[in-house]
Structure 1
């Protein structure tokens, strides 16, 4: 079995030409940064519930769920961003933009406002 046949995902590695390894490694570092961000959102969502932030229970649950949703979105962004960028590099195309960055920022903004309002009331 060739090394190309063992590489996952084949939908990415099976087409185009290998880019300069530095670019693939930079893409991988970006992927891992998004994974760390996802873990931070999930940990924050769990901490809000576990530490019983001094806000009403429904608001605390909402904040926790929004942070968990942001964690899921960041994990999806990690994978989709890596795949789309790797494909673009393999086909010497333009690098794609991200579709999930804005929703993640909006969710985080809502969480910040909710925490602020909850603490002030």
Structure 2
């Protein structure tokens, strides 16, 4: 692991809040992964061939993206707090919201046509 960036030590409450946010992203990734496995293994086949596989892959892909971006985000926020600079913005909030919305719409269409 890389050495701590230079700067002042942030208030421990902010560091712990940043850690809790990181853990929330990881919990979200685990939930999406569990949903993907559940869809593939437990949901009966839809009328559209391969639809359960597509939905499961969408869940697991989004889980991988969330997990892969959570630690770099934690590190960027930690560095910004140490340097006293504004916190970086994250595109993942929009990506996650859009991904879940698209999966919900796909699931709704599959259930309706079903």
Q: TM-score, normalised by structure 1?
A: 0.85
Does the CA-based 8 Å contact 2:26-2:70 persist in structure 1? Answer: yes
Matched, 1:16 2:7: yes
* Pick aligned residue for 1:28 from 4, 19, 29: 19
Shift in alpha-carbon separation, 1:38–1:94, aligned structure 2, 3 A: same
Shift in alpha-carbon separation, 1:114–1:53, aligned structure 2, 3 A: farther
Structure 1 unpaired stretches of 5+: 1-7
Which runs of 4 or more aligned residues in structure 1 lie more than 4 Å from their structure 2 counterparts after TM superposition?
A: none
Does the CA-based 8 Å contact 1:85-1:96 persist in structure 2? Answer: yes
Structure 1 equivalent of residue 36 of structure 2: 45
Q: TM-score, normalised by structure 2?
A: 0.90
Pairwise CA RMSD: 1.4
Structure 2 equivalent of residue 73 of structure 1: 65
